[in-house]
Amino acid sequence: MSQWDYIQKRGALRYGTQTSLLSYFEDGSSRAGYEYQILKSFCDSNGLKLEVIPYDNNGQLFNDLKSGIIDLAGGHLTVTKKRLEHFKFTQPINNTSVSLVTHYDYRDIEDLSELAGATGYLIKGSSYVELLNQFAADQRDHIVISEVHSLFDIIREINSKNIDFTLGDSEIIAIYQNFIPGLYTPIQVSNNQKVALMARRVQSDRLLQKLNQFITEGQRLGLFEDYKQNLLHYIPDIDTANTVTFFNKLKSNWPIVKHWVYEVADEMGFDAMLLAAMSYQESHWELDATSITGVKGLMMLTRFTAKEMGVKDRIDPVQSLRGGIKYFRKMKNKLPQRIRDTDRTKLALAAYNMGYGHLEDARILTQRQGKNPDLWNDVKNFLPQLNKPAVAKTLKHGAADGKTARTYVENIMIYRKLMAWQQQKEKNN
């Protein structure tokens, strides 16, 4: 019986991978990833379910593939001679190369020998380790082969200059460079390499035949390029200066507050990553945060809002988080039920920031201009109009800082994406 026969009998294909946008990623209730989209389409066309099993490291991933616990391994795996000794691969689904990733101090180097004395980290079980022979023997003494760091972890440490360099997949690094500042790739360490899905050496020929037929047809129709374009939605569009602060607070403050965020979100049936993003935007996760206007706590509640939401101590993290959720839900429940949830969430966040009456004024302005007051992408363009005295005089609730409210909402949605990445990492640890 071939592996394909077992898969059909089971009714599901089991795909193991480390998480990334190029493989598989959970964003709240949705799932994404270049490989995930390819395999989901393949399974749909063959009447199969796709079961995804995330892994922390390639060592366990490869062992489970060999033993048949999973049917395919992914994670943007390059086809190398060493891997071909133990596994088979599908036709290529992508091409990439390996680059040196470093910080400002080494941005202009032209040869790896210029890293003498620098500290490097490589991921155990990765194809990058196979390139160690490109470093001089004395340089290798300064390279740590880590099984506890992800590439994302190492890159953040490079950003902080705690680590000097690593090797990384050029396509993955290009994604991270969108929102992590201070990353440089001065040297391409490998030639172009093929990226493919990996299968067992035995009993996999029929599975590979089916997959290769699907890959050939998908590439012919341009579906795979569409899948890549879909990933752009998940790349945080944020000023890199803001991510420096965010990642610093993720390391220093998030470990202190995260158990409260998870507990309160679970208790109240609320999206934990949205609550994390809201509390970061409000207070940078400072428990005793206080503004010059007198708002306090993780959710920076006013004295009036706190009283209205039954919060007796605004500095108490649990009370603050509960109060924030209650107030957000109050804003959201005021909005017409016809508005789809993603738009209602963003509109409710704007109301949370500047008041429901001012949001209604912005929606009226939107409607006056023939746009849809139920769509965030339409309403957000009119929020800055609330800052103009001449316009404010024509509105029921007068002037408001609509510019800040717009930025507030968009920042929270960006931080929610970043927190989803963090949650994925915490799940895998």
- The phi, psi pair for 174, rounded to 5°, reads -60, -35
Same domain, 119 and 87: no
Residues 391-412: what's their mean pLDDT?
88
Is residue 202 exposed (0-12), middle (13-18) or buried (19+ Cβ within 10 Å)?
exposed
- Of 103 and 176, the structure prediction assigns the larger pLDDT to 103
pLDDT tens for 301-335 read 988 899 999 999 999 999 999 999 999 999 999 99
Residues 40-69: what's their mean pLDDT?
94
Instruction: Write down the pLDDT at residue 335.
Output: 96
Same domain, 218 and 273: no
pLDDT tens for 82-112 read 999 999 999 999 999 999 999 989 999 999 9
Full residue range of the structural domain in which residue 151 is found: 98-190
Same domain, 33 and 56: yes
Same domain, 380 and 423: yes
Q: Of all residues in the chain, what percent carry a pLDDT higher than 90?
A: 66
Per-residue pLDDT at 31 exceeds 90: no
Calpha distance 391→63 (Å, rounded): 65
Residues 148-158: what's their mean pLDDT?
82
Instruction: Write down the pLDDT at residue 383.
Output: 94
pLDDT tens for 333-390 read 999 999 999 999 999 999 999 999 999 999 999 999 999 999 999 999 999 999 888 8
Instruction: Write down the pLDDT at residue 89.
Output: 97
116: CATH:
3.40.190.10
Same domain, 117 and 245: no
Q: State how far the alpha carbon of 113 is from the alpha carbons of 154, 247, 290, 356, 393, in Å.
A: 21, 31, 51, 61, 67
Examine the fold and report which residue of 234, 257, 287 is the final residue of a domain before the chain moves on.
Answer: 234
Instruction: Write down the pLDDT at residue 229.
Output: 84
Same domain, 23 and 87: yes
Instruction: Write down the pLDDT at residue 295.
Output: 85
pLDDT tens for 240-250 read 557 778 888 98
Same domain, 32 and 168: no
Instruction: Write down the pLDDT at residue 236.
Output: 62
Instruction: Write down the pLDDT at residue 243.
Output: 73
Per-residue pLDDT at 189 exceeds 80: yes
Same domain, 246 and 149: no
- Model's pTM, two decimal places? 0.66
Tokens 């890959």, located at residue: 215
Per-residue pLDDT at 65 exceeds 70: yes
Residues annotated catalytic, as ranges? 282
pLDDT tens for 258-296 read 999 999 999 999 999 999 999 999 999 999 888 766 788
Same domain, 417 and 316: yes
Same domain, 259 and 407: yes
Pairing of β 72-73 and β 25-27: unpaired
Examine the fold and report which residue of 178, 206, 234 is the final residue of a domain before the chain moves on.
Answer: 234
What is the secondary structure of 103-128 as a DSSP string? -GGGTT--SGGGGTT--EEEETTSGG
- The phi, psi pair for 134, rounded to 5°, reads -80, -10
334: CATH:
1.10.530.10
Lowest mean pLDDT among 37-41, 196-200, 390-394: 390-394
Same domain, 78 and 119: no
Three-class SS state of 234: helix
Indicate the number of domains in the chain. Answer: 3
Same domain, 156 and 176: yes
The mean pLDDT value of the chain amounts to 90
pLDDT band at 178 (very low <50, low <70, confident <90, very high): confident
